[in-house]
Amino acid sequence: MLSDGHNEGVNLYISFRLRRGQPEVKLMKSQRYQRGFKKLEEVNKKGIDDLIQLMDDLAPDLATYVIEFAYGDVYTRPGLDPRQRELCIISAITALGGKEQQLKDHIQAAVNVGCTKAEIVETLIMMAVYAGFPAAINAIKSAKEVLCV
Amino acid sequence: MLSDGHNEGVNLYISFRLRRGQPEVKLMKSQRYQRGFKKLEEVNKKGIDDLIQLMDDLAPDLATYVIEFAYGDVYTRPGLDPRQRELCIISAITALGGKEQQLKDHIQAAVNVGCTKAEIVETLIMMAVYAGFPAAINAIKSAKEVLCV
Amino acid sequence: MLSDGHNEGVNLYISFRLRRGQPEVKLMKSQRYQRGFKKLEEVNKKGIDDLIQLMDDLAPDLATYVIEFAYGDVYTRPGLDPRQRELCIISAITALGGKEQQLKDHIQAAVNVGCTKAEIVETLIMMAVYAGFPAAINAIKSAKEVLCV
Amino acid sequence: MLSDGHNEGVNLYISFRLRRGQPEVKLMKSQRYQRGFKKLEEVNKKGIDDLIQLMDDLAPDLATYVIEFAYGDVYTRPGLDPRQRELCIISAITALGGKEQQLKDHIQAAVNVGCTKAEIVETLIMMAVYAGFPAAINAIKSAKEVLCV
Amino acid sequence: MLSDGHNEGVNLYISFRLRRGQPEVKLMKSQRYQRGFKKLEEVNKKGIDDLIQLMDDLAPDLATYVIEFAYGDVYTRPGLDPRQRELCIISAITALGGKEQQLKDHIQAAVNVGCTKAEIVETLIMMAVYAGFPAAINAIKSAKEVLCV
Amino acid sequence: MLSDGHNEGVNLYISFRLRRGQPEVKLMKSQRYQRGFKKLEEVNKKGIDDLIQLMDDLAPDLATYVIEFAYGDVYTRPGLDPRQRELCIISAITALGGKEQQLKDHIQAAVNVGCTKAEIVETLIMMAVYAGFPAAINAIKSAKEVLCV
């Protein structure tokens, strides 16, 4: 009997019994969680600690979904390398506007996965064309806090 | 005497006289315009025709700014190749939402500059994480009209 | 006894009795409604008919709020003339994106209150700087449907 | 003669004379204002004080419109109880993004009208699906400042 | 040996072998998928068919994530009943703007889970306060297509 | 030979030789730059210094584009006077949301070009109708920091 239960996302267990009556086997974390956590560690170790701490009092499941879904399911998909992913994420967050912390986290992540400072800046400058100058200027301001320390 | 005049963007001339009294020399298009036009032709020839036709009755200068500024100044900058640029532009337009025509134009452009269908789809799927599922689903819908003909 | 009741916005009556026992006097529409309706008639008579018809089956109160609040309270305030108001409204709706019908209604309204075609186009071109080129291009597209018939 | 005048929203009087020549009767606040103020006091007393103080130097009429229109006209309508209203408002403000103060005010209001912490958090987590993870994470951050003191 | 593999989301299998050498057992769909699919069937059966068909040519995994994550993980969480969820989702999508299809799907879903027409309309009217009148008016227009047939 | 080169935006030179072999003439800044700089100085001298300083370490070209394109090409166009432009810009930035610094810069600019405090406040109040009350309230908050010192 296999049971990932409703709370898989919450408890981070996949538990199953080979037969009714036999002892239950628990895998401490789902493979999606493990895969996502490993990827997020590669990409932005500091970001993951901040996220888990931020969510911990109030919404630990949201941190779990970030790890399982955003990183374990989506980010680890083949087809785009992490450098391309981070430049796209930075573009989207700049276009959305008003999400400084996430923008800074992903600018750091972009550096961590090997994007050059020039590529990041180039991406942000290009956003002036698509999302307007105020969005691009604010993004450069966030980038300075990460890249010019 | 060099004069790019106020209307450089509008008239697409750089005119100058070597001396007062001598005949004026007109360069029919600024180099920024020529450079942008050439790039836009490479990237999405059909899009440029549509744009110029769309703007022509009412706002031809906006088409000129697209060519001079968006393509002549920004898109032709070194530091990001066209494939990276188009995936970033697609990400931004998906995040902004409600801009189907531009999204389709840039999905076509992405194909034209050598992005694979898989890379484009991967980029759009990732947007579910950053801009929400409705944005990503609508973007896939636009992509189908371009990629599945 | 004066009673504008909870449903003033809904029933569009202000009713009062000079004395208990005397016949009730009903003013068929609140003065806010009348003032807003008159203004909206000046500004965009066709728009008001469309709005009331659109809302009528399902949310007539929303049409009432447009008339009472948006026009009766806000638009009729002194301090900005209708031409200035319409250019500002057009700017905001262009920046918000994805609201074609309202943009077209207010471009028509701008014409009705005396804005020139050139002022309207100039406003929309300027939006490329603040809200990005896709927003400005889409707005010109909407403007063509109103201004180039 | 009944007169709510153009400045009803501003002066907060409904004044009328039973007959020309008789003394004018002034009701100090419109019933819409009174109804809205009472509701806002129930929902978020601290928020109302902050709002009036914030607007007072520069735009007192905007505070009046919040009270008269947002609360006196809309919030007090039947059909949705305050708990449902606050969860919907929180959802909308999270989706809009970049409006931390209003989000915190309405999270406090949600608590005041009887929403549980779990319902509020559940609503914010769900926003990851519709508005993206960055919007949801930022909303949880705002919620912590209100709910985890 | 338990393996949900990288492609759990894609292949929709959880496969395991009780012992090396024994035949592999495949569960055709993950429990998250099954749970999400069942919920989505309850909530909006037509929507699910449309979604799967829409994504099928190009991005079937995005449909899978909708089912597994949006419905299997998030929507089925306890803490909010489906009626509360749908009104919150409608609020968020109205605030985001420009997502008519999803708005109509969730207005239909709201009806399916037992929201009254009045509750839905009330929610949309309230959005005028938080997201502006154009957003609310457009949402009523979408609602008419669903509710007034 | 006239050469505005690819890096006109970057190097801010237009260089030309009257004849091959003769010494090259360099104009230190393009006329677009000079025209934009002059306009920006009139409109908001402090803003320009802040902008150049902000961009200088990381993205000086973005400051150049602001000056050349946003001011040299667009803002200096005939058809709208600076007072109308600033009220439109303020409207757009308020509608976009989450761009406090640019909003404050343009409120200051509006004052500098001759808009009255009343016109600015009137514009922001009107945004409650089109972009929602939270956007308008936040804009008044920013305006207080500029106008009530």
Range name among A130-139, B59-68, D26-35, E88-97 with the lowest pLDDT average: D26-35
10-residue averages of pLDDT along chain C (149 residues): 34 47 58 94 90 89 96 96 98 97 97 98 98 98 93
Instruction: Answer whether D21 touches F (CB < 8 Å).
Output: no
Reported as type and span, the H/E element at residue A104 is: helix A100-112
- B98 with E98: Cβ contact below 8 A: yes
Tokens of B41: 């032709």
CA distance D91 to D22: 52
Kindly tell me the sign of the dihedral angle through the C-alpha atoms of A132, A133, A135, A139.
positive
CA distance E42 to E22: 38
Mean pLDDT of chain A: 86
Instruction: Answer whether C52 touches E (CB < 8 Å).
Output: no
- Within 8 A of D77 by CB-CB distance, chain C residues are 61
Instruction: Answer whether A73 touches D (CB < 8 Å).
Output: no
- Which of E130, E133, E134 lies nearest to residue F134, judging by beta carbons? E130
Instruction: Answer whether D6 touches E (CB < 8 Å).
Output: no
CA nearest to E69 within chain D: D129
CA nearest to A67 within chain D: D133
Note which residues in 94-133 of chain C have CB less than 8 A from chain A: 128-133
- Within 8 A of E143 by CB-CB distance, chain C residues are 58-59
Reported as type and span, the H/E element at residue E41 is: helix E31-56
Instruction: Answer whether E18 touches A (CB < 8 Å).
Output: yes
Pair B44, B109: CB distance under 8 Å: yes
Is it the case that residue D7 has pLDDT exceeding 90?
no
CA nearest to C131 within chain B: B96
pLDDT of residue E57: 82
- Count interface pairs A-F at CB distance under 8 A: 54
* DSSP type of residue E25: E
- D80 with E95: Cβ contact below 8 A: no
- Count interface pairs B-C at CB distance under 8 A: 54
Angle at Cα E139 formed by Cα E133 and Cα E144, nearest 5°? 125
pLDDT in tens, F96-122: 999 999 999 999 999 999 999 999 999
Angle at Cα C45 formed by Cα C40 and Cα C50, nearest 5°? 100
pLDDT of residue D48: 85
pLDDT of residue D130: 98
Question: In which order are the strands placed within the sheet that holds E2-3?
Answer: E2-3, E14-16, E25-27
The yes/no answer to whether this complex scores an ipTM above 0.85 is no
Tokens of A138: 């604010």
pLDDT in tens, F1-39: 233 333 333 334 444 555 556 555 554 568 999 999 999
pLDDT of residue C22: 59
pLDDT in tens, A24-53: 555 456 899 999 999 999 999 988 888 888
- Give the contacts of C22 (CB within 8 A, at least 6 positions apart): none
Instruction: Answer whether F20 touches B (CB < 8 Å).
Output: no
Other CB atoms within 10 A of residue E79 CB: 16
pLDDT of residue F122: 98
Is it the case that residue B7 has pLDDT exceeding 60?
no
- Within 8 A of E93 by CB-CB distance, chain B residues are 134
Return the half-sphere exposure (C-beta side, CA atoms, 13 A cut-off) of residue E22. 9
CA distance F29 to F16: 13
- Within 8 A of A130 by CB-CB distance, chain C residues are 132-134
Distance from CA of F29 to the nearest CA of D (A): 38
Pair C71, C41: CB distance under 8 Å: no
Kindly tell me the sign of the dihedral angle through the C-alpha atoms of F10, F78, C90, F90.
positive
CA distance B45 to B96: 24
Mean pLDDT of chain F: 86
- D148 with A58: Cβ contact below 8 A: yes
Is it the case that residue D129 has pLDDT exceeding 90?
yes
Burial class from Cβ neighbours inside 10 Å (0-12, 13-18, 19+) for residue B148 reads exposed
Tokens of A51: 């996220």
- Distance between start and end Cα atoms, chain E: 54
Amino acid of residue D13: Y
Q: Which long-range contacts (CB under 8 A, 24 or more apart) does C85-89 make?
A: C85/C113, C85/F126, C86/C43, C86/C110, C86/C113, C86/C115, C87/C115, C87/C119, C87/C120, C87/C123, C87/F80, C87/F84, C87/F87, C87/F88, C88/F87, C88/F88, C88/F90, C88/F91, C88/F123, C88/F126, C89/F91, C89/F126, C89/F130
CA distance D111 to E50: 38
Distance from CA of F96 to the nearest CA of E (A): 11
- Count interface pairs C-E at CB distance under 8 A: 54
- Going by their DSSP bridges, the two strands B2-3 and A25-27 should be labelled as unpaired
DSSP codes, D76-122: T-TTS-HHHHHHHHHHHHHHH-S-HHHHHHHHHHHHHTT--HHHHHH
CA nearest to C122 within chain F: F79
